[in-house]
Amino acid sequence: MATVSFKGATRVYPGSETPAVDRLDLDIADGEFMVLVGPSGCGKSTSLRMLAGLEEVNEGSIYIGDRDVTNFPPKERDIAMVFQNYALYPHMSVADNMGFALKMQGLPKDERAKRVADAAKLLGLEEFLDRKPKALSGGQRQRVAMGRAIVRDPQVFLMDEPLSNLDAKLRVQTRTQIAELQHRLDVTTVYVTHDQIEAMTMGERVAVLKDGRLQQVDTPLGLYDRPKNVFVAGFMGSPAMNLIEAEITDGGAKIGDYVVPIERSLLAKAGGDKTVTLGIRPEAFHIADEGLPVRVAVIEELGSDAFLYGAAEHTTLNQQVIARIGTRTHSEKGALVYLAPQPEKVHVFSTSSEKRLSA
């Protein structure tokens, strides 16, 4: 086990002007499950590959424990990586796939067999050890790929979108299994995904990246409750937080004719801006007698939850709004409802800097 630290780690691909990863500072604790999340192209895989030694670090450094591994080749880093496509050898049995790296390391046959058997037991793969990968389901192949990493007993696991080849239902099951397994093995893990739900459900902490820059790192709920900027606010949470530009007025911020009450001291932080950006999660709205008038476009009824999608009346761009409402409320398409936000749940951001102004 070991800590992992990125210290100003930067990667500029040859021929590119802008860094793919720009001065990344990130400390990962011993045994921690850290998720790197962000939209496609934000630099997640490059960060992971720098840690793996598969990508050059142009500036800054990377530590595993107290070892500066910045210039170490991959095999000297004591890490094991699980790739998106699993990269299993088709002509080898499951057991041989799992034991291959150990064989390369020159580990004696008995020791190899023991480690493979232990990992197979842990992963429920015992009955498949003699099969070839093509005779396995997608979920079983995924577990073999995990097994291959586990048998190596590394200091750090690196996982790059390991669930992306599974169907939706299996993905949900497998993410719980991986999180549970990681917890049991207690090995420091860096996990890359573009899926914010995966990040929220699996990570002990989550690092959100955009355009090669770290935006925020916090626990899932820390990110959800106190996003540092408009990007994190909009990226984490599903359906997404409503982000509404509202005109600063006496005692609040105005969306169309409706004023959301906001403390004067908070509005004062907006500097010279004439507007603030309000962040209101769907569940922070409720249907009330007074509130923001919204014309219902669609009600998404999920049984356990229901979401109302509509456009706020009297706003310039027919501001789109999403609210979680009680199920079976029977609001109809075209109806006018009044949505009131819970004042303590309204996030306030600077419109110009996009940074959080609320406490």
Separation of alpha carbons 231 and 355, rounded Å: 9
8 A C-beta contact, residue 308 and residue 294:
yes
Residue closer to ligand ADP (CB basis): 213 or 254? 213
Nearest by Cα to 288 from 327, 328, 338: 338
Question: For ligand ADP, which is the closer residue by CB, 42 or 102?
Answer: 42
Smallest separation, CB 154 to ligand ADP (Å): 21
Q: Let me know: does 11 contact 168? Beta carbons within 8 Å.
A: no
* Nearest distance in Å: CB 46, ligand ADP: 3
Can you give the binding site for ligand ADP, defined by CB under 6 A? 13, 16, 20, 38, 40-46
d(CA 201, CA 89): 31
Question: Measured from the CB of residue 45, what is the shortest distance to ligand ADP in angstroms?
Answer: 3
Q: Assess contact for 251 and 266: CB atoms under 8 A.
A: no
Q: Is the Cβ of residue 42 or residue 306 nearer to ligand ADP in the bound state?
A: 42
Closest CA to 207 of 224, 220, 225: 220
The β-bridge relationship of strands 79-82 and 156-160 is parallel
Question: CB 13 → ligand ADP: shortest distance, Å?
Answer: 3
CB-wise, 38 or 256, nearer to ligand ADP? 38
Residue 252: helix, strand or coil by DSSP? strand
Smallest distance from ligand ADP to CB 164, Å: 11
Residue 79: which of 92, 95, 63 has the closest Cα?
63
Compute the least distance from the CB of residue 193 to ligand ADP, in Å.
10
Residue placing its CB nearer to ligand ADP in the complex, 164 or 320: 164
CA angle, corner 16, sides to 13 and 17, nearest 5? 120
Which backbone phi and psi does 256 adopt, to 5 degrees? 60, -120
Pick between residue 5 and residue 45 the one whose CB is nearest to ligand ADP. 45
